[in-house]
Amino acid sequence: MIFCVGFTMYQTMEGIWKTFPPCEAFVGAESFTMGILGGLAILLIGQINKKFSWSIPIWVQALIGGIGITVAEFFVGLFMNKWLCPLLDKPLIWDYSMLPGNFMGQICPQFTVLWIVLSFVSIIVDDFLRWKIYGEEKPRYTWY
């Protein structure tokens, strides 16, 4: 269930983002594989407060999640954009090379900030679903 929420959140976000010109960063069609990454990301983000306890401030959890997504985006981008898409003669899924501060066109600071913000939302969604659907502990957050 939580994986499906992350999958849908990513696919929806990408679809909405592409409607706002200029959006040269997303050069190909929505990718099923990126939805899978979104589903895995929310599952991993949900494990942050399980690993570090509820005492870790939510902004630190969001920072960890955003950096984790950026690292995953880099490696998935290397595989998809630099190897698989050219091998299959398909368009790249994204290309951040026109954005300042990008690294190899796969990651950039602007999207890392976006991933941090979305991690904040994902933490709350994941915790709420785990509490209401799976009967896990009621979420409680600290800011410092």
- In tens, the pLDDT along 68-122 reads 999 998 998 888 888 887 777 776 778 888 889 999 989 999 989 989 998 999 8
- Write down the mean pLDDT value for the chain: 83
Structure tokens at 137: 């502990």
| Model confidence at 23: pLDDT above 70 | no
Distances (CA, A) of 39 to 5, 48, 83: 7, 15, 23
The pLDDT, as a whole number, for residue 17 is: 67
Q: What is the phi-psi region of residue 104: left when phi exceeds 0, alpha when psi lies from -120 to 50, beta otherwise?
A: left
Q: What percent of the chain has pLDDT over 70?
A: 89
Alpha-carbon gap, residue 119 to 24, rounded angstroms: 23
With beta carbons less than 8 A apart as the criterion, state whether 48 and 56 touch.
Answer: yes
The pLDDT, as a whole number, for residue 31 is: 66
More confident residue, 62 or 44: 62
| Model confidence at 25: pLDDT above 80 | no
Which of 6-20, 45-59, 97-111 bottoms out in mean pLDDT, i.e. has the lowest? 6-20
The pLDDT, as a whole number, for residue 26 is: 55
pTM: 0.80
More confident residue, 67 or 16: 67
| Model confidence at 27: pLDDT above 80 | no
- What residues have CB less than 8 Å from 111, skipping those under 6 apart? 25, 70, 73, 96, 99
Question: Burial level of 29, CB count in 10 A (0-12/13-18/19+)?
Answer: exposed
